[in-house]
Structure 1
Amino acid sequence: MGKNKEQLIKLACQGDKQALEKLLLICQPDIKRFARRTCSTSEDIEDAVQIALWQLYRKIGMLKTVATFTSWLFRIVERECYRLFRIRQANKINAEFQLDDLPATYSNIDLKIDLINAITALPLIYRQVFILKDVEEYSSPEVAAKLGITVEAVKSRLHRARTIIKQQIKTPKIADI
């Protein structure tokens, strides 16, 4: 890191707005280059860079030492790329699952409707795991990798999803009474 950049970081940490603006301009190409290697799509790259610059602008005063600046900034970009990737994966999973994809082999159409309603009513974190594991038949490690969670979390969420679905299907409807 050059002397000039170190001085800008020190001044920005002390609240100098002009130094902060110069620092934002100087850092943007490096951040963008790093984001290109880390993010999964071009939209995510742009979003991650903007968020990193915004975090830099808002939190530069919290930086304790100039030496940690670069790793701190790149860690912000890395976390943001990962967060955007998880959101994109969650949206992809929800978009891929269509209610008509369930097999029409059920003898009881009411059971099929109840099952579909129970699955769609699940909270997102349970629905994602349930669809990947029980509908698309991925293994627990594959589901964990797709969602960025542990295998234990997959098992726990799957158990909870199945329990919720069983409770909803077993609960008699007012129209059935």
Structure 2
Amino acid sequence: MRTRANRRFTWPDERLIRAAQGGDLTSLTTVVMESQPHVRRFALSLCSSPQDAEDAAQEALIILYRKIGTLRATGALASWMFRIVRNECLRQVRFLVARSEEEPSAEPEASAEDAVLRRLEAERIAAALRALPLDQRQVLVLRDVQGLPGRTVADALGLSTAAMKSRLHRARAALRHSLAATEGDARP
């Protein structure tokens, strides 16, 4: 007897996807239900917390439900869903970064001057990160901010591990260079 944990989930077949794209509600519901375990696994591997993963998976499944008609190749469902989940996780990171920049720190500061200096430093780092090209910013956030394993980052971005490492190296170097260039501006 197979337990649920041992059960191997499969993606919906092309016939079912085509029927869902054609507007068959039963097929659409089946496609969403059969995609759910994969989408959750993607989200858990990409998001920074289980709660974020659950939110990203739900959003991705809603997008699947609403926009399955825009899927061009029925055989590309897995890669399409992976990109949607990746984008949802990145959207959450951007939201959290923006929110943390707006909210004051909960920990007590040694002085008002220290608080101002920390805020300025955080703003300087955030600006340097925003200035990076999108491909470099994505790899840096996934690997260094979210702490995802290299193979997961490479898969999420559709890169080989070597290409991901190269892009990460360039992103880190560009960030260091940008921060070094603005370091004199940050000091009083």
Q: Indicate the TM-score class for this superposition, using the shorter chain for normalisation.
A: 0.5 to 0.7
The 5 A counterparts of 1:157-176 are none
CA displacement at 1:95 relative to structure 2:
2.4
**Structure whose alpha-carbon radius of gyration is higher:** 1
The alignment covers a number of residue pairs equal to 128
Cα distance in structure 2, aligned partners of 1:59 and 1:43: 24
Greater Cα offset, 67-76 or 18-27: 67-76
- Find out whether 1:60 has 2:43 as its counterpart: no
The 5 A counterparts of 1:1-177 are 5-97=13-105, 102-103=112-113, 135-137=119-121, 140=124, 142-144=125-127, 149-151=130-132
Cα distance in structure 2, aligned partners of 1:75 and 1:43: 19
Identity of matched residues, %: 34
Deviations 1:99-150 (A, max 9, x none): x86329xxxxxxxxxxxxxxxxxxxxxxxxxx7x88442595x3246xx522
CA displacement at 1:67 relative to structure 2:
2.1
Q: Structure 1: 5+ residue runs without aligned partners?
A: 105-130, 156-177
Q: CA RMSD in A?
A: 3.8
Secondary structure of 1:74's aligned partner: helix
> Do the aligned partners of 2:42 and 2:82 also contact (CA within 8 Å) in 1?
yes
Cα distance in structure 1, aligned partners of 2:60 and 2:41: 13
Amino acid at match of 1:5: D
Q: Which residue of 2 aligns with 1:108?
A: none
CA displacement at 1:41 relative to structure 2:
1.5
Cα distance change on mapping 1:138 and 1:53 into 2, 3 Å: closer
Cα distance change on mapping 1:65 and 1:103 into 2, 3 Å: same
Cα distance in structure 1, aligned partners of 2:88 and 2:46: 10
Q: Structure 2: 5+ residue runs without aligned partners?
A: 1-8, 134-177, 179-188
Deviations 1:1-36 (A, max 9, x none): 979622111111111110010111100000000100
